[in-house]
Amino acid sequence: MNTIKTPSKIILFGEHAVVDGYPAISMALDLKTTGEIEENFDTISIDLVDLNEIFEITPELIKNLEISNFSPALKYVVCAVKSVIFYLSEFKNLKEIKPFKLKLYSEIPLSCGLGSSASVVVTVIRSISNFYGIELDNDETINLAYSVEKEVQGRASVTDTATISLGGMIEIVNGEYKPMPKNLEEFIKTCKFLVVNVEERTRKTAELVHDVSKHPEKEQIFEEIGKIIQNVRQVTGKAELGKLMNENHELLRKFGISTEKLDLVAKAGQKYAYGGKLTGAGGGGSAIILLKEDREELLKELKKIGVIGIYECKMAN
């Protein structure tokens, strides 16, 4: 049995500004999806263990499979299986589609802006290519995963698939991505974060992006966020990094995309840790806090606020 582990991701800085061509910083997290693959007797079998969903098909039918009839979670997986097998057959000289059994497990909370679907898709692509003994480079994996996300969702960002495929930290500008400076990555490795699933989102990403695009101070706020990211590149201390997170949160608040509960969590991060901010589109969802060693008071405060979930994590390579 082969095992593949794939990280999740979080936006550390620059959400919304990235839509207008300003940079954003994304980081892989060690909350992971695990894929276990082995040879099977006569069918391709997919088992989403956490969701108790199983799918089976004979190898000769997989390339023509219609994904629209499946549950949301299975859509991503089935589309990824179909896409990677087609790619390996057409471009990598895969002669025989041998049957396999793939089990998928995930530590990543769903619909929290942590890239759970991209993590599953990359896990499927790498598990199957490894099973057939064909190596895909990072660009091939990123492009395949991006095409799957786009097919299932109708639109997608390369940010999730690139961060999850490459690991570490990347900077995204105008849909292009590049690694962050090595000294910054080495520093971030020493940091521990708390990802807080604060509340269910009540507004869709498209609606939030539209509201931000119409804000009268948009350009000024985006320029300020751009300056924060310039400062992040030079950062060497946790207090300094936390301060920049706090500043980014305050700028996002000006757009009206934070919520009362997100603000309470960010304030708790500012009071009991080095800093905290919302992450992702806003309108509910998640926040990220840069932890100090003593986190007892912080955890008490988050319990009092009544958040959905708390996940301690660090950057994944």
Q: Catalytic site residues?
A: 160
SS (H, E, C) the chain: CEEEEEEEEEEEECCCHHHHCCCEEEEEEEEEEEEEEEECCCCEEEEEHHHCEEEEECHHHHHHCCHHHCCHHHHHHHHHHHHHHHHHHHHCCCCCCCCEEEEEEECCCCCCCCCHHHHHHHHHHHHHHHHCCCCCCHHHHHHHHHHHHHHHHCCCCHHHHHHHHHCCEEEEECCEEEECCHHHHHHHCCCCEEEEEEECCCCCHHHHHHHHHCCCCHHHHHHHHHHHHHHHHCCCCHHHHHHHHHHHHHHHHHCCCCCHHHHHHHHHHHHHCCEEEEECCCCCEEEEEECCCCCHHHHHHHHHHCCCEEEEECECC
Dist CA 266 CA 307 (whole Å): 12
Nearest to 81 by CA among 22, 128, 137, 20: 128
114 is annotated as contributing to ligand binding: yes
Residue 119 labelled as part of a binding site: yes
The answer to the question of whether 147 is labelled as a binding residue is no
Judge whether 113 is annotated as a binding position: yes
Establish whether 79 is an annotated binding residue: no
Q: Is 118 annotated as a binding residue?
A: yes
208 carries a ligand binding annotation: no
Q: Is 127 annotated to bind ligand?
A: no
Residue with tokens 């009544």: 306
Is 112 known to sit in a ligand binding site? yes
Contact (Cβ atoms closer than 8 angstroms) between residue 81 and residue 70 = no
Residue 117 counted as an annotated binding residue: yes
Is 129 annotated for ligand binding? Answer: no
Residue set of the binding site? 109-119
Residue set of the binding site for ATP? 109-119
